[in-house]
């Protein structure tokens, strides 16, 4: 099983309103995991610095609107005052339909996923890739997050070789209208479960970035989980 933000099985995802996507922790649980070589962090290629996301402050004294307290998910509870894990409204956008990476001989369908009632990211099975719909989308500002399994229920997942993807490789994303966006990998990194950089991954503003996430690093057979997450960053090709 794969878990994002709070607990999913092979990747990570979560998001705070507009500025940050769900908290820093991404837990990936894998059943019948296949052996994966621990990738070495690859330094990023020179890129323009990302613009930090900002949120507008609201003075409660100036508001007369009656508010209702909404319980936060376990994931959102880690974010403090930033807000709930799911934005109240998302503008309709062209959704990614498939992903292709020639360097890994990888091609697979992409479908929209959200958060479960326990705050964990919904992640499809071994043969699909999940796009976190509360994050950014291809062609828009912010980080478009795609996650998939290394393995799931005895099947090899689509991202089982993500740790082999080096800077310079091309990633093609086909959208639901048939158009395509091409990205170039600029960095591959291995993070601890609680070490995902919120300002780089969980954002809906700043430079457009494609973020691919799966589990990796050392495997703990006692709990059937990897201890780290593999994250690949890619930027759009002009």
Kind and range of the H or E run holding 100? strand 96-101
pLDDT at 209 over 90: yes
Ranges 7-11, 84-88, 136-140, 194-198, most confident: 136-140
Of 176 and 152, more confident: 176
Q: What is the pLDDT of residue 186?
A: 97
Q: How far is the C-alpha of 106 from the C-alpha of 210, rounded, in Å?
A: 16
Asked whether the beta carbons of 22 and 4 are under 8 A apart, the reply is yes
Q: Tens digits of per-residue pLDDT, 28-66?
A: 443 333 444 444 455 555 444 444 433 344 444 444 444
> Is residue 88 included in any domain, yes or no?
no
CATH number for the domain spanning 173: value is: 2.40.260.10
3-state SS class at 228: strand
Name the pTM for this structure: 0.66
3-state SS class at 162: helix
Number of domains in the chain: 1
> Is residue 31 included in any domain, yes or no?
yes
Report the Cα 5 to chain-centroid distance in Å.
9
């Amino acid at each position: 099983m794969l878990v994002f933000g709070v607990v999913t099985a092979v990747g990570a995802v979560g998001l705070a309103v507009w500025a940050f996507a769900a908290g820093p922790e991404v837990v990936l649980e894998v059943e019948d995991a296949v052996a994966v070589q621990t990738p070495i962090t690859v330094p990023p290629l020179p890129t323009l610095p990302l613009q930090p996301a900002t949120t507008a402050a609201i003075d409660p004294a100036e508001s007369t609107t009656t508010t209702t307290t909404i319980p936060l998910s376990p994931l959102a509870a880690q974010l403090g005052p930033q807000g709930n894990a799911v934005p109240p409204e998302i503008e309709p956008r062209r959704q990614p339909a498939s992903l292709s990476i020639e360097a890994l001989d990888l091609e697979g369908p992409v479908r929209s996923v959200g958060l479960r009632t326990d705050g964990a990211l919904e992640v499809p099975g071994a043969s699909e890739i999940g796009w976190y719909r509360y994050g950014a989308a291809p062609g828009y500002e912010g980080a478009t997050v795609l996650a998939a399994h290394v393995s799931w229920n005895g099947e090899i997942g689509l991202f089982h070789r993500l740790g082999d993807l080096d800077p310079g490789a091309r990633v093609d994303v086909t959208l639901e209208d048939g158009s395509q966006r091409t990205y170039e990998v600029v960095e591959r990194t291995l993070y601890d479960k609680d070490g995902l950089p919120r300002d780089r991954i969980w954002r809906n503003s700043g430079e457009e970035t494609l973020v691919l996430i799966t589990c990796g690093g050392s495997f703990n057979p006692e709990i059937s989980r990897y201890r780290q997450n593999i994250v690949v960053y890619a930027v759009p090709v002009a």
